[in-house]
Structures are given as C-alpha cells and as structure tokens.
Amino acid sequence: MDIPSTDTASQPPPAPAARSATRLGDRIFLGLSRGSGLLLLVIMAAIAVFLTVRAGHALAQDHGNFFTTFEWNANANPPVFGIAVLAFGTVASSLIAMVIAVPVAIGIALFISHYAPRRLAAPLSYVIDLLAAVPSIVYGLWGALFLVPQLGGLYSWFDDFFGWTGILSYQGGAARSLFTIGILLAIMILPIVTSVSREVFLQVPKAHEEAALALGATRWEVVRTAVLPFGRSGVISASMLGLGRALGETMAVATVLSPSFTIAKSLLDPGGGTFAQNIASSFKESGEIGKDALIASGLVLFVLTLLVNGAARMIIARRKEYTA
C-alpha cells in the first residue's frame, strides 16, 4: 500500500490572496480616482460645448471674415469682428516670452541642482517658488509703472543696431509694445519653468553622474551627457506649462498694453493685442452679440492651448520611444 508523500518542499506555495481586489479602501480609492478622471473629461467637454454654441451664435451674425478681419466692432449694426490682430499678438508675445525665459530657467535650475552650495540653493529655490505665487495684477502694475519707462533706452539701442531689420525698429514714444509684453510674460513664467526643471534635474540617477565623473568628465560634461538628456522630457513639459500661462495671461497684459487692432510694423512699436486682454477689456461694455464674439475668440484660444499641450505630449511620447 502506497503511503502519500508528506514532502511539501516540492509543492508550489499557495497563491497570495488578492487583497487589492477585496479591500474596501482599495475599491473606494479606485472608484474615486476613476471618477475624478471622468469628471475632468466631462468638465472639459462641457466647456467646449458651451464655447462652441455661443461662438456659433456670434459667427452666424458676423459680416466679416472672423479669421482675417483687422477690426473689432461687435456692437455695431451690422457687427464686424475678427481675430487676426489678436492671434498675432498672442502668439508673438508668447514666443518672445519663451525665447527669453526657457534658457534662463534651465540655467537657474542647473545652478540650483548641480552647482550652488546647499546653503545658497535652499533660499534661492524658496525665492523662485515665491515668485510663482505673485498675483498677475502685481506683475502688471510693476510692468506699467517701472518696466515700461525703463525700456525706452533699450529699444533705442535696438533701433541703432538692429533697426535695419524692420522687426526691431523703434519710433519713440511709450514702450507699450508686444516685445514689452513678451519680457513681462517671460518674468512671469520663469518661476514655473525653473521649479519644474529643477525637480527633474534632481531626479537624475546618481550612478549616471558618478559614471561620467569616473571616466574623467568635467562638471559641464556631466551636465551635457547625463543631466540634460535625462531631463529633456521634463524640460519640455515645464516649457509647455509656461507657454500655457503666457497664452492665457490676462491682467498683466491688460495693464501694460493699450487696446489696439492694428498690427505694428515693429515688435517695439505700440499696437496689437491678445485674446485674453481683449476679453478682459471689452466684456463689460459688450452687448449680447459682442459677448458671443468674445466667447468665439476664447474658443480659438481654448483650441490653441489644446494643440500646444497635444504637441508637447507627442514630443514627450516620441522621446520616450526613442530612449526605450
């Protein structure tokens, strides 16, 4: 008679209990997380539907070409309004801000994370984070009362050396131009780009940096070969966050830039406007059609922001596929 073996060493261990599927807390957390994601999609869809419906009411009564008209007179009879000047001003000022702010922000982030001593890096990080919390109206007042009067001399210097290009020619007068707005927006988005980039650079594996140092690399070569490639996706994300704020900034732009529906011949001459500035300055005095027209311009800004964020996501995804 065969006796069953009592050796359990060769027997597979019992499967662990699926605690994640049975715990009440896990199920609640899963439901809340999923519900939060769906709620966000519903809110975005509701905003898009609202903007589209109100924009449709305005465009049905527009007697011009909404995308190419250089005029905004939505309260007239018949109403005429267009976003040509607003689109140019929004994109131009945001690009100027990005060109100025992103290299400076990357340099500050690298200095804090890899060059500055700890006693200096900590307070400097605190100051950068504090700048991100300054209200937009404070930046606007500072720009109107201090920055605008100080830029006349700089613009004259630009005109002396680069006026032949036509883009940086200066005819004098108040420096309330798209270039001034670009400088102000660059100062405003600098803390955001710097803070995110700094945190990304601090996440670089120490083994990568130590390996580069062991091969005889200098500190700059370590940054160039190990830190920047690792943090490229994070820097792109930080830049897109800054660009999103620059595209939609309202009060600072409205405080500094005078409303105008003429595209200036130079970036240093007064003229132009942005979507957010026009909405803020014109909404109170607009009638029903005028408000719908402003909402139509807001829809364009909404789509523009979505396209920018979508492009950033595509760049990051391709970068991950390339490095995988």
What DSSP string describes 175-219? --BHHHHHHHHHHHHHHHHHHHHHHHHHTS-HHHHHHHHHTT--H
CA-CA distance, 211 to 208, in Å (whole number)? 5
Q: What is the average pLDDT across 67-92?
A: 84
Q: How confident is the model at residue 64 (pLDDT cuts 50, 70, 90)?
A: low
pLDDT at 14 over 70: no
Tens digits of per-residue pLDDT, 188-227? 999 999 998 998 898 888 888 888 888 888 888 888 888 8
The stretches of 1-147 forming alpha helices (DSSP H) are 19-22, 24-59, 84-110, 118-132, 136-142
Rg (CA), the chain: 27
pLDDT at 289 over 70: yes
pLDDT at 61 over 50: yes
φ and ψ of 23, to 5 deg:
-70, 135
Tens digits of per-residue pLDDT, 134-166? 888 999 999 988 888 888 888 888 888 888 888
The closest of 249, 269, 299 to 59, measured between CA atoms, is: 299
pLDDT at 258 over 50: yes
The closest of 254, 234, 247, 242 to 320, measured between CA atoms, is: 234
* Greatest mean pLDDT range, 49-63, 96-110, 169-183, 258-272: 96-110
Conformational region of residue 322, where left means phi above 0, alpha means psi within -120 to 50, and beta covers everything else: alpha
Tokens of 94: 């945001």
Which residues are within 8 A (CB) of 171 and not within 5 positions of it... i.e. 6 or more apart?
266, 269
Q: What is the average pLDDT across 11-17?
A: 55
Q: How confident is the model at residue 1 (pLDDT cuts 50, 70, 90)?
A: very low
Tell me what pLDDT residue 15 has: 54
Q: Whole-model pTM? A: 0.83
CA-CA distance, 232 to 254, in Å (whole number)? 34
